[in-house]
Amino acid sequence: MQPRTVVKIGSSSLTYNEGGLHYDKIRYFIGEVADLRKRGQQVLVVTSGAVAAGFATIGYKRRPRILKEKQAAAAVGQALLMQCYQQELGRLGIPAAQILLTRSDFSNRKRALNALMTIEELLARGVIPVINENDTVSVDELKFGDNDTLSALVANLVKADKLLILTDTDGLYTDDPRKNADAVRIDRVDQISEELLKIAGGSGSAVGTGGMRSKIEAARIAMRGGVPVFVGRATEPGDLWAAWCNQGKGTYFDTKLHTLPMKKQWVGFHSFPKGSIIVDHGAETALLKEGRSLLPAGVQTIAGEFHPGDVIEVMNRDQQAIGRGVVNYSSWQLQAVAGLSTEEVKKRVDVPRIEVIHRDEWMSLN
């Protein structure tokens, strides 16, 4: 099977600061993507830039902030963006396909599988899928964050060999290099810690929405799926191939994990939790360190309304999220038996499995 690479290109790499497509930059990146193809890669492109491409065309002075204005700008900009991809790839004899996804496409396992089958067929036919968020129907609270998360979910979905996240900075630094001349680039990351997340700042440009933090969080998702990640800059011919060969201008996020089963990926990263529970210290230890299932005795409080088969979020006593899992109880059933022993639970409710969350349907977020 050919190696498979997901390339994510951000808004600031494709557009002008005042909005509109930067055609020279787009041609450069398309040339780099085509070069990966010549070197035997199956390539998927996750692109941002629809809003930035379209807002000036319809008369906005700056990137809009109101949802309906962003959706209107995206409706215009996505057509311009995809036209450019198809024309430039077409000049090189490479067909391109547009795929627009929303967060709910990943939360629904059947829709995610349908998307995967479409992508697999396109790749088998020599087509480069150009993937973007469907901004015209997405709502702010469910958006991906400059498509960084989208690129990680796509990389896991297609079992990519690498995810290359291209941005306008050459990787992660110990401090903001624009403000601190002593800041040092971090070349490799084996594990993403809270300290590392605190280093990351906000959005780096007027047309982009994602900062380094969103890229680190995306890297964490991809790493948990067994996909190594590069976050950095590509500005000269050959830079993308250099990034693929671990010689790029940026930071590498390595993974020693095997690819997670699709169901665990769905539970951990794609699904929307329908509710949440808080567990005691013993249950937290059992889930995180002992590989055991969660029993009703370890549950302290329940929030939200959920049903058997839904995904719920599990928090510790400090209300920190520690993982997600498929629940075997409805919320009212679990409310009735929280903190009780297994024998007491059997007397009070009738459920097919005594475990609140079985270990095979649990995904740690730590």
Cα 269-271-275 angle, rounded to 5 deg? 115
What is the average pLDDT across 169-177? 85
The pLDDT confidence band at residue 66, using thresholds 50, 70 and 90, is confident
Q: For the chain, give every domain's residue range.
A: 4-263, 273-364
Judged against a pLDDT cut of 60, whether residue 79 lies above it is answered with: yes
Cα radius of gyration (the chain): 22
Residues 6+ apart with CB under 8 A from 213: 197, 200, 201, 202
Residue-level pLDDT at 144: 64
Same fold? 4-263, 273-364: no
CA distance 361 to 309: 10
Q: How far apart are CA 129 and CA 10, in angstroms?
A: 16
Q: Using alpha carbons, select from 165, 219, 161 the residue that is nearest to residue 193.
A: 219
How far is 229 from 226, CA to CA, in rounded Å?
10
Q: Long-range contacts for 59-63 (Cβ within 8 Å, ≥24 apart)? A: 60/19, 62/19, 62/206, 63/19, 63/206, 63/207
pLDDT at residue 298, rounded to an integer: 96
Say which DSSP state 314 is in.
E
> How far is Cα 161 from Cα 39, in angstroms, rounded to an integer?
14
Please report the pLDDT score of residue 110 as a whole number.
Answer: 84
pLDDT of 201 reads 57
* Architecture in CATH of 4-263: 3-Layer(aba) Sandwich (3.40)
Closest to 223 in 3D by CA, of 269, 179, 170, 283: 269
Give 83-105 pLDDT, tens digit per residue. 999 999 999 999 999 999 988 88
Q: Which residue has the higher pLDDT, 199 or 246?
A: 246
pLDDT of 259: 59
Q: Is 186 helix (H, G, I), strand (E, B) or coil?
A: strand
The DSSP code for 274 is S
Identify the CA nearest to 50 among candidates 129, 113, 132.
132
Closest CA to 131 of 99, 106, 88, 155: 99
pLDDT for res 142: 47
Lowest mean pLDDT among 13-27, 32-46, 206-220, 344-358: 206-220
pTM of the model: 0.79
Residue with tokens 């937290």: 284
Domain 273-364 - what CATH class? mainly beta
Lowest mean pLDDT among 107-116, 239-248, 262-271, 321-330: 262-271
The proportion of the chain whose per-residue pLDDT surpasses 70, expressed as a percent, equals 93
For residue 244, the surrounding DSSP H or E stretch is helix 239-244
The average confidence (pLDDT) of the chain is: 88
Please work out, in degrees rounded to the nearest 5, the angle formed at the alpha carbon of residue 157 by the alpha carbons of 108 and 311. 35
Task: Give the whole-angstrom CA distance, residue 167 versus residue 11.
Answer: 9
pLDDT band with cut points at 50, 70 and 90 for residue 205: very low
Placement of tokens 């490479």 in the chain? 94
Q: Which residue has the higher pLDDT, 237 or 364?
A: 237
